[in-house]
Structure 1
Amino acid sequence: MDDNDHRSIGNRLDLFHQQEEGPGQVFWHPRGLALYRLIEEYVRARMREAGFHEIRTPQLLSRSLWEASGHADKFAENMFVFEDGERSYALKPMSCPGHVQVFNKRQRSWRDLPLRYAEFGACHRYEPSGALHGLMRTRAFVQDDAHIFCTEDQVAGEVARFVALLGRVYAEFGFPPFAAAFSTRPESRAGTEAQWDRAEALLGDAAKAAGLDPVLQPGEGAFYGPKLEFALRDAQGRSWQCGTIQLDFVLPDRLGAEFADTEGGRARPVMLHQAVLGSIERFIAILLEHHQGRLPFWLAPEQVMVAPIDTAQAPYAREVVAAFEAAGLRAALDLGPERLGRKIVAAHEYGVPVFAAVGAREAAAGAVSLRERDGGQAVLPLAEAVARLSERAAPSFAGSRNVAMPAGGSMVEAGGAA
């Protein structure tokens, strides 16, 4: 296996493993789950800023709901189905029907729209064993599922908001500007031709208004509607489709979603399906391979490894760790018997971006000697070291230099429009 394969990196950094007893599933180790939670909390914060309300929907739902939505027909071979007497249930392969149920639970008015829901939805899909590939293709995964219920005249604003969100998120994870594609009606689809005509026109116009010039992908849309897809290019030049926003007239119709319009009548909302990362597991694989395990400072499970030069400085090394942790930095302490040079190499091989050595001079001066994985070194007073590293701990430390967010909500990359 290639050393730059995410499975090799995951093993080297002690992030996760997979085994035969759980095919297509992941055993997350402490460091891996720390990375997972950092990504999840980051996305949660961005979604909250974008006006989304987080919800949670059941894992196991009656097959009748999946039949009503059309997923039972489209994904029958990929669904895990269970029998309970005369009723049949299925683990959810996606979260959208559940979000419609939350929308339908209350009387809705045009004043409530747009209504935005987000969920870290744990999904299960039966993938053939030969198709499984580390974190890239699994049977159990979590999607950053989000759905917007809105009117047709709100679609353009929501798409522009999403494009701006993607620009910020991908830049902060260290990726260059994305490429966009417009996927239109597939041969096998639900809904009327009139619905598809309207959906494609709305989404196409919204893409242009957001400053996109997407590549056309005829026949690649979802079974319920057209979609915009956003692909990242990694450091090896490979393209990965991650983000998507899809326009849907079909599910609101099939599942009876409606709201009171301005005239007091009943109307169907437009449903926008969106995901920033897609599968979090798959995104972590892409991220690990893109950075070859050298994650940005803000994402490293441990950001600073502290070690005394000899045992006499161990008490001061503990004070240094405490000072970093008090500032919200993730610090670890190496009191092992190895020589300092070996500790520095081991920490950087383990993905820790900064090594803080403390000897007699540092202890006497209340300082630390910082060593970066690129070879850079600096001896700083402890308070200054804490301040500098705390600044780097913000996701925007690198990303904000690459993306400008104009007042109109569209995204401008360094070098041109998205």
Structure 2
Amino acid sequence: MFELKFPDGAIRQYENNISPLEIAEGISKSLAKRVVGAKIDGQVWDLSRPIEPKDTPQTFELINRDSDDGLEIIRHDAAHIMAQAVQELFPDTQITIGPSIEDGYYYDFVREDKFSTDDFEKIEAKMREIVDRDLPIVREEWDREVAIKHFNEIGEIYKAKIIEEIIPEGETLTVYKQGDNWKDLCRGPHMPSTGRLGKAFKLMKLAGAYWRGDAKNAQLQRIYGTAWADEKGLKDYLVRLEEAEKRDHRKLGRQLNLFHMQEEAKGMVFWHPKGWTMYRALENYIRRKIEASDYVEVKTPQLMDKTLWEKSGHWEKFGHAMFTCETVEEEILAVKPMNCPGHVQIFNQGQKSYRDLPLRMAEMGCCHRFEPSGGLHGIMRVRNFTQDDGHIFCRVDQIYSETKDFCELLRTVYNDLGVELHSVKLALRPDVRAGSDETWDYAEKMLKEAAEAAGEIVELLPNEGAFYGPKLEFHLKDAIGRTWQCGTLQLDFVLPERLDAEYTGEDGQKHRPVMLHRAILGTFERFLGILIENHAGNFPMWLAPVQVVVANITSDSEQYAKDVCHKLRAAGIRAETDVRNEKINFKIREHSLQKVPVIAVVGSREAAEGKVALRRFGSQAQEILSLEEAMAMLSTESLPPDMK
């Protein structure tokens, strides 16, 4: 007998060799149909795998199909069923690696002939057939050498390579069989049979990939798919994809003439006048917010000597992702991938006292990091980016208050910008780290308690912290339900030590300051990409690159249109004229496609009476106002959220 502790705190006894599925069936037959796995002491476990007894009670939790853990199991099963379907249809195909990923799964295949999306229909049909067969999925533990020999003999040389090159010796080697004739090397877990997958899956796209992600290795063929707990989940996802396509920032960037990207500068943005206007509007907004929070803004060099990056530890950790150059004097300079070492150099100029702390230092810091080409994604993931970066140099006793204040500032900004803060996560100490356990205990405690005091619910992420300290991650949700990590707050005791930062304490002795690395938007590029997609290009007045277009109806009102535009600009409104020899309906349609918030129509009557006819984007109605009334109203509407 052994004991399990359930989520409600109840502790129950069970006979040895019982499986989670048997426990679920003992509670309720309907429950047993809904669950796809279990968690034993936090480890995800196969439903049909007997639980290993322990002397002390183990925590036990059943995993429902529609939970995050449940969807991951479903997608992993779908990847295996897709691989089996492919091999039954195309027996000359080898399988390599097939994980679950966000919203789906993929499998990389080795095949001489090329797959086509035309193959998807028959692969999906074969997958449904395998589901209908309800083949048992059985976990087996294999001897390492036996497994290598077996996979080589059946022609699955990549599976043999995984064992030889990736799986450490001594690690338990597991193989999952589906029915009598198909098997895959896998850590699991999986559901008890193929029938439990259901049919809420769909193949999505083809792509190329390299074995182990290295371009020097063989090229593979990757098939992506998606799988959900039920048909409704699949349907909702496909609708979200359609909506995402409409909102794609890359597409809107071209349509609205905001920016472009090209091969000669991979991962770097060419901002057009309209896009740069939006960029500056966002930058000016965040600059006002941080100035109001007593930050001092600085600017640090783009290039700094390799020796500084070695001393800070970034060369060892980030050297592979840094752009470098060698001067004629044989100096090796690195383009900065982050701003923190430069900020410490400014802190180190002159004597600092405990009375000078906290010192909140900010920079709109332009950084460069080498991202592999396959990871680039529009302006969301780039090689050249600008952070609304900041570093707070403070005493240990100020960590709590500075963290709390930052959390409150971040939430205010997100509320102003109309984005939803989805979750706050605390990345905890990794296995390889600097500093004592006592320091980590204190740092993690301070960040968690301060964030909670600011009203946040904090989710813990074991082993996800940086080597020098824990990190708060602020994830926002976009208009179609996707989440993005943007804001961060990292607590650092290490860099001040490495770069000799110090201040004089109240006791007259020298002390190391603590550094809080923080960003609210994260990068302007990613945040603007999110805003573009959130608003689908229909921007609020303060952010719109062109706020008002003044369009004349007839040529005799052309000068009045120009005068109106001049006065609007003088009032701080971003206005343009359209006095082309075109019909007014053509002008309105064209500017509506550009999603201009307001079109001010003027004709001979408006010119004679000193009025304008305002048309809002998306509306057929017109509002006739005097020019003075229109200017007052539009001036208020065009103000940024922090100035209203």
User: Normalising by the residue count of structure 2, what TM-score does the alignment of the two structures yield?
Assistant: 0.60
| Contact kept in structure 1, 2:427 and 2:472, CA below 8 Å | yes
Q: Quote the residue 2:325 is aligned against.
A: 82
State the match for 1:145 in structure 2: 389
State the match for 2:284 in structure 1. 41
- The residue aligned with 1:344 is 588
CA distance, structure 1, for counterparts of residue 389 and residue 466 of structure 2: 15
The reply on whether 1:385 has 2:630 as its aligned counterpart is yes
Mapped contact 2:421–2:475 kept (Cα < 8 A)? no
Q: Secondary structure at the match of 1:146?
A: strand
Task: Report the 3-state secondary structure (helix = DSSP H, G, I; strand = E; otherwise coil) of the residue aligned with 1:223.
Answer: coil
Partner of 1:241, secondary structure, is strand
Residue 58 of structure 1 is aligned with which of 275, 281, 301?
301
The corresponding residue for 2:111 is none
Inter-partner Cα distance in structure 1 for 2:492 and 2:568: 48
* Alpha-carbon displacement from aligned partner over 1:176-228 (angstroms, at most 9, x marks no partner): 34421111122343333333222212212221222222111112222321111
User: 2:399 aligned to 146, 155, 165, which one?
Assistant: 155
- Partners of 1:352 and 1:211 lie apart in 2 by 38
Distance in structure 2 (CA, Å) of the matches to 1:16 and 1:50: 32
For residues 10 and 313 of structure 1, the distance between their equivalents in structure 2, rounded to whole angstroms, comes to 33
Aligned-partner Cα distance in 2 for 1:47–1:197: 30
Correspondence 1:27 to 2:270: yes
Conserved? CA contact 1:156–1:210, under 8 Å:
no
Q: Which residue of 2 aligns with 1:279?
A: 523
Match of 2:354 in 1: 110
Task: Tell which deviates more after alignment, 140-149 or 211-220.
Answer: 211-220
Equivalent-residue separation in structure 1 for 2:435 and 2:369 (angstroms): 24
What is the DSSP-based 3-state SS (H/G/I as helix, E as strand, rest coil) of the residue aligned with 1:120?
Answer: strand
Q: Does 1:303 align with 2:512?
A: no
Asked whether the equivalents of residues 423 and 457 of structure 2 are also in contact (C-alpha less than 8 Å), the reply is: no
Matches within 5 A, 1:238-257: 238-257=482-501
Establish whether residue 373 from structure 1 lines up as the match of residue 617 from structure 2: yes
> Which whole-Å CA distance do the structure 2 matches of 1:134 and 1:197 have between them?
39
Q: Which has the higher contact order (CA 8 A, sep 6+)?
A: 1
Deviation string 1:99-155 (CA, Å, 9 cap, x unpaired) is: 011001111000100101100111010111111111011111111110000112222
Q: 1:201 to 1:341 in 2, by over 3 A?
A: same
Aligned-pair CA distance for 1:167: 1.9
Q: Which is greater in Rg?
A: 2
1:213 alignment partner in structure 2? 457
Residue in 2 aligned with 1:358? Answer: 602
* Separation in structure 1 between the aligned mates of residue 336 and residue 466 of structure 2, nearest angstrom: 17
Quote the Cα distance in structure 1 between the aligned partners of 2:427 and 2:639.
35
User: How far apart in 1 are the matches of 2:331 and 2:437?
Assistant: 34
Q: Percent identity?
A: 51
Task: Give 1:8-23 correspondences, 5 Å limit.
Answer: 8-23=251-266
Q: How many residues align?
A: 399
Is 1:357–1:370's contact at 8 Å kept on the other side of the alignment? yes
How far 1:349 moved relative to its partner?
1.6
Contact 1:183 1:221 (8 Å CA) reproduced: yes
Equivalent-residue separation in structure 2 for 1:83 and 1:187 (angstroms): 36
Q: Does 1:235 align with 2:463?
A: no
Q: Write out aligned runs for 1:117-196 (5 A).
A: 117-196=361-440
Q: Output the CA distance in 2 between the equivalents of 1:57 and 1:244.
A: 21
What is the rounded CA distance, in whole Å, between the counterparts of 1:319 and 1:86 in structure 2? 59
Residue 338 of structure 2 aligns with which residue?
A: 94
Name 2:534's counterpart in structure 1: 290
Confirm or deny: 8 A CA contact 2:428 2:444 kept in the other structure.
yes
Cα pair 1:259 1:269 within 8 Å, conserved: yes
Cα separation, 2, equivalents of 1:234 and 1:279 = 16
- Counterpart of 1:185 in 2: which secondary structure? coil
In 1: Cα distance, 2:489 partner to 2:609 partner:
55
Q: Is the 8 A contact 2:497 2:512 kept in 1?
A: yes
Greater displacement, 365-374 / 174-183: 174-183
Quote the residue 1:396 is aligned against: 641
Deviation of 1:379 (Å): 0.8
Residue 564 of structure 2 aligns with which residue?
320
Quick one: distance in 2 between partners of 1:379 and 1:223?
Answer: 62
C-alpha distance in 2 between matches for 1:87 and 1:358: 63
Moved over 4 A (4+): none
Distance 1:175 1:261 in 2: 41
Aligned-partner residue type, residue 300 of structure 2: T
Name the SS of the counterpart of 2:576 in structure 1: strand
8 A Cα contact 1:59 1:122, kept in partner? yes
1:223, 1:368 → 2: CA distance?
Answer: 61
Following the alignment from structure 2 to structure 1, what is the Cα–Cα distance between the partners of residues 605 and 377?
A: 50
CA separation in 2, counterparts of 1:52 and 1:199? 23
Q: Secondary structure at the match of 2:265?
A: coil
Compute the displacement of 1:168 (Å): 2.1
Contact 1:244 1:274 in 2 (8 A): yes
Q: Which moved more, 1:222-231 or 1:15-24?
A: 222-231
- Give 3-state SS (helix, strand or coil) of 1:75's partner: helix
Task: Compute the RMSD of aligned alpha carbons.
Answer: 1.6
In structure 1, what is the Cα distance between the partners aligned to 2:319 and 2:625?
61
Unaligned runs of 5+ in 1: 401-418
Distance of 2:400 and 2:559 partners within structure 1: 59
Contact kept, 8 Å, 1:156 with 1:209, in 2: the verdict is no
Residue of structure 2 equivalent to 1:226: 470
Amino acid at match of 2:262: Q
Deviation at 1:394, TM superposition (A): 1.8
Please report how far the alpha carbon of residue 41 of structure 1 lies from its aligned counterpart in structure 2 after TM superposition.
1.2
Q: Which amino acid aligns with 1:92?
A: K
Alpha-carbon distance in structure 2 between the residues aligned to 1:183 and 1:338: 59
Does 2:312 correspond to 1:69? yes
